[in-house]
């Protein structure tokens, strides 16, 4: 049976040992967020704005947690300075699971500009990112992305396109 996309993301977060997640919802992340909320091993903090979430994750990491942020790519635009002058400057790791809107299959025109800008912003910040296309790929890539973030003491992004779901 084909692995469900949301299940694959959740399973990968668990395999990576992620135990602290901040989130701003995206419709495509809805199922994953429900799974996380029901998991007693994961502290889930819904935040008012993604930038705030990054700050919370930096604090949680200093307290010994393995942090991730779940957000839409629009949230990346809200978080450029915190990524540069907190995460890059102090070398904090974080796994960024990003619902990549404005890509193939997008029905809302407002999502297109950030969709086009996302990879360029990540490149400008020198943040590595990966773009798994299937649940099986995501299972592997998400777990390895956290390992890379931890080893390199840096943020690492995983972009999940509309067609992924």
Partner 1 sequence: MKRIDAISRITGQLKDELVICNIGFPSRELYHVKDSKTHFYMMGSMGMASSIGLGLSMSTDKKVVVLDGDGSVLMNLGSLVTTYNQNPENLILVVLDNGCYGSTGCQKTYASTVNLKKVAESIGFRKTFFFKDEINFNEVLKSKGPVFVHVKVEKGNAKVPIIDMDPCAVKTRFMKEVKS
Instruction: Compute the distance between CA of residue 25 and CA of residue 46 in angstroms, rounded to an integer.
Output: 8
Which residue, 46 or 105, has its beta carbon nearer to partner 1? 46
Per-residue b/e over 134-145, b at no fewer than 16 CB within 10 Å?
Answer: ebeebbebbbbb
User: In terms of C-beta density within 10 A (0-12 exposed, 13-18 middle, 19 or more buried), how is residue 131 classed?
Assistant: middle
Site string for partner 1, 52-91 (x = CB under 8 A): xxxxxxxxxxxxxx-x-------------xx-xxx--xxx
Collapsed DSSP state (helix, strand, coil) of residue 44: strand
User: Interacting stretch for partner 1, rule CB under 8 A, among 48-56, 102-110, 119-127, 144-152?
Assistant: 48-56
Distances from the Cα of 92 to the Cαs of 70, 73, 134, 149, in angstroms?
17, 20, 28, 8
Footprint (CB under 8 A) of partner 1, residues 19-38: 20
Instruction: Compute the distance between CA of residue 64 and CA of residue 55 in angstroms, rounded to an integer.
Output: 15
Which residue, 11 or 50, has its beta carbon nearer to partner 1? 50
Which residue, 84 or 117, has its beta carbon nearer to partner 1? 84
Which residue, 7 or 43, has its beta carbon nearer to partner 1? 43
Shortest Å, Cβ 7 to partner 1: 27
Q: Are 161 and 133 in contact (CB under 8 A)?
A: yes
Site string for partner 1, 94-123 (x = CB under 8 A): ------------------------------
Examine residue 40 and tell whether it contacts partner 1 (CB under 8 A): no
């Amino acid at each position: 049976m084909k692995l469900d996309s949301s299940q694959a993301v959740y399973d990968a977060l668990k395999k990576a040992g992620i135990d602290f997640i901040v989130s701003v919802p995206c419709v495509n992340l809805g199922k994953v967020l429900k799974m996380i909320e029901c998991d007693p091993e994961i502290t889930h903090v819904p935040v008012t704005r993604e930038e705030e979430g990054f700050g919370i994750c930096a604090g949680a990491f200093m307290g010994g947690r393995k942090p991730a942020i779940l957000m839409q790519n629009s949230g990346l635009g809200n978080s450029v300075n915190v990524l540069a002058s907190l995460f890059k400057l102090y070398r904090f790791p974080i796994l960024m699971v990003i619902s990549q809107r404005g890509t193939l299959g997008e029905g809302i025109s407002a999502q297109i500009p950030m969709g086009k800008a996302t990879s360029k912003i990540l490149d400008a910040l020198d943040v590595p990112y990966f773009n798994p296309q299937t649940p099986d790929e995501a299972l592997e890539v998400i777990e390895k992305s956290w390992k890379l973030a931890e080893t390199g003491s840096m943020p690492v992004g995983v972009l999940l396109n509309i067609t992924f779901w």
